[in-house]
Chains A and B, each alone.
Chain A
């Protein structure tokens, strides 16, 4: 029975991926790409990796899908979507297929010859878990054992927004999404948004002892923000520019302050004080959730949001 499920999933993933790649219509490609993210999430669950499944569903399918749809809408509106342009040119297509097939064959060969690892890292994780302040291995790895990587990754997210803001065009663009005047949507929102906020907080809280955590919670929060944005309730218009900026940077700042305070206290960077690990991790995750939610929202709205006040009148160089 399980084998049947797996085989169906596997063929489904391959078929959906192929449809997404080969489809003539960009819209169809994007829809199938989102579907691919969701089926991949199911695949991860079958592999016993619910954390990755959550991330794939929230970020791979959800946020990426929304960003792609947004781009598509933008292209359509500005008339830059040329009907013939996305028709694949055959030499390129052939080259792409050839190189992906080579890559897949190489990877299969590599994976089938994979030796048993000499170092059993999960045993080390198991051993150190009681000292980590949380009882879920993945949260312990992300926010304690390898917290330095996570700190830099959050830096990458902040940087992505920063680059997005720097690329904003100087002229004030009209918001391209005037909000959908749909009474049914608004009625649903009153039910959906509180439920999403609660789910987000649950995911955050659950992270300490089961799958969940700041990234998934932040993605859920972003989904709620984007839904609100689409229905005309704009967070970026409600908050001042400075407040928004503060919110974007809050998670990274809190993380960095905690990291630095341990150096000042005479411990290595990012080492939590004895007994304080659990609380500090929760604090960092709370700040990260809010910031990740706002960062993902900003990436979505950046093309439409008003330009930074300071940018007006900025000429090139010198």
Chain B
């Protein structure tokens, strides 16, 4: 295929160029230039989606050196779905940020967003373990910068905490990659998988890598850095972090897990990951129920949702391929639904805080009457997070339930049910506050209708996913090295 027509390099070059340009040009040109960038990113992602579904997995040799000497990029079904997901969610968050931030803040937001986007695309497309590390570095710094961007004392503290946790995770990952390189002499995922053997070196390496990635994904009990960072950031940043950033380390984890067939050789580790996931579902849900600040409720809900996604691991077993495939589809669908629903919910929560001017739940009184559209957006996102039909979240939970039945691991069903009850409780608790009325006269600020519509669009997308689930499921099942390594 003609090199110039492949969208793969443009998915990296445009965000990187966008980052440089938005640093150099005057403040009031940064938004128009970025709008153009958003458009090209959407087009490039759609083009990639078309090419991958037509011609199958695309391999792109960087600098024309084939792996393992050079670095290869690989766009398979999974990568393509994530590219599309991040393009859609990031575009919505970027438009929201453009309307929500003032000119100065906006000017400084764009370069960080573009770096974030470049690193996300780099991670989705990477097929090289060290390249993934570089992508994670870029992602970490961009995300920490965005958290610190609120520049009040609490967000600074949260961002430093986040930085330390993320760096510790990166170091563990890097150490593991170094061991893999020492043992096998290559960094490319494909050749690592071909020459893989379960010696002590690879076992230690995989333990370090998984540990680092679990910390970066904020899997319970390594989640403590997440709520202050996600809850304390500016609203569009919170949405980006919860919807996309934590998915990056999870994505790498999943690739390692399947492509190197960790599930086949360390089945006890799968159960451990499941237990951590169950812990996250219950602890995250319980903590969300106890928060007094709206954005902290949403942030703890992310902790719980990561737990659902981690339930995929104990269900991906070598014994039952049908149940495994179902768990894989369920997990990916859960992740996708969470990306849209959580972005929508954070933006809706931000709008509510914009109206009341106060971050706590008690001052939401009267909101259902004043901003019904916004409450509706919050509620639709809540439907998907609770897993009520019809929504992406429901289909995902249904697949996970069925997979648990099929593989005979009934205990995860109990966890899923308790989790759903807890999420229903913390979401209805927020609703209860919005229906209250106070004696005092309302002094609400009116948000622009556009930012409410953006939140609504994302929430609607998470519901629509319930009707269109077959499409992402087909995309992630496209043949490629990942699907070959599946049980």
Contact = CB atoms under 8 A, between A and B. Distances in A.
Interface stretch (B55-63, B306-314, B416-424, B456-464): B55-63
Nearest to A151: B16
Contacts of A267: 3, 64
Interface string B127-163: 0001100110110011011001111100010000000
B483 interface: no
Contacts of B2: 266
Contact of A155 (B115, B145, B179, B203): B115
Size band of the interface chain A makes with B = 35 or more
Contacts of B17: 256, 260
B101 interface: yes
A252 B20 CA distance: 8
B199 interface: yes
A167 B155 CA distance: 11
B182 A167 contact: no
B4 A263 contact: yes
B481 interface: no
Nearest to B64: A271
Interface in A133-153: 144-149, 151-153
B440 interface: no
Contact of A166 (B4, B64, B108): B108
A245 to B, nearest CB: 7
B6 to A, nearest CB: 9
A310 B105 CA distance: 10
B105 A155 contact: no
Interface string B99-117: 0111011011001100100
Contact of A268 (B64, B191, B235): B64
A91 interface: no
Interface of B is mostly: helix
A147 B65 CA distance: 10
B200 interface: yes
B95 interface: no
A317 B100 contact: yes
A210 to B, nearest CB: 21
Contacts of B68: 119, 121, 124
B69 interface: yes
A36 B156 CA distance: 30
A231 interface: no
Given A120-B185, A166-B148, A268-B64, A115 B201 contact: yes
Interface in A269-318: 269-272, 310-311, 313-318
B350 to A, nearest CB: 9
B69 A256 contact: no
B65 A259 contact: no
A222 to B, nearest CB: 19
A146 B102 contact: no
B24 A155 contact: no
A145 B70 contact: yes
Contacts of A79: none
B478 interface: no
Contact of B112 (A166, A269, A313): A166
Interface string B65-99: 10011110000000000000000000000000000
Q: Which of A120, A145, A315 has the most CB of B within 10 A?
A: A145
A117 B62 contact: no
Contacts of A106: 204, 207
A316 B151 contact: yes
Nearest to A147: B63
A144 B63 contact: yes
A317 B152 CA distance: 11
A249 B24 contact: yes
B185 A266 contact: no
Contacts of A124: 68-69
B197 A269 contact: no
Contact of A310 (B27, B207, B235): B27
B47 interface: no
B13 A163 contact: no
A253 interface: yes
B433 interface: no
Contacts of B349: none
B186 A269 contact: no
A245 B22 CA distance: 12
A110 B61 CA distance: 32
B63 A162 contact: no
A167 B102 contact: no
Interface in A151-185: 151-153, 155-156, 158-160, 162-163, 166-167
Q: Which of A119, A158, A245 has the most CB of B within 10 A?
A: A119
B201 A315 contact: no
B380 interface: no
Interface string B151-187: 1100010000000000000000001000100111110
Given A109-B200, A110-B179, A121-B186, A163 B144 contact: yes
A162 B145 contact: yes
Contact of A314 (B3, B62, B64, B102): B102
B13 A155 contact: no
Contact of A115 (B102, B111, B191, B197): B197
Contact of B195 (A114, A119, A145, A270): A119
A122 to B, nearest CB: 8
Nearest to A144: B63
A187 B176 CA distance: 49
A268 B9 contact: yes
Given A107-B204, A156-B138, A318-B100, A266 B3 contact: yes
A5 interface: no
B94 to A, nearest CB: 16
A113 B199 CA distance: 7
A267 to B, nearest CB: 6
B347 interface: no
Interface in B11-40: 12-13, 16-17, 19-20, 23-24, 27
B354 interface: yes
A268 B104 contact: no
Nearest first, the 7 A-B pairs at minimum CB distance are A117-B185, A314-B104, A163-B145, A110-B204, A271-B64, A113-B200, A118-B195
14 contacts: A110-B205, A115-B183, A119-B68, A121-B186, A125-B69, A152-B122, A155-B19, A159-B142, A162-B145, A166-B108, A249-B20, A260-B9, A266-B3, A266-B4
Interface of A: 106-107, 109-111, 113-115, 117-121, 124-125, 128, 144-149, 151-153, 155-156, 158-160, 162-163, 166-167, 245-246, 249, 252-253, 256, 259-260, 263-264, 266-272, 310-311, 313-318
Given A121-B69, A263-B10, 16 more contacts: A106-B207, A107-B179, A114-B201, A121-B186, A148-B131, A152-B135, A155-B16, A155-B138, A159-B138, A162-B112, A163-B145, A166-B148, A249-B20, A256-B20, A263-B4, A270-B63
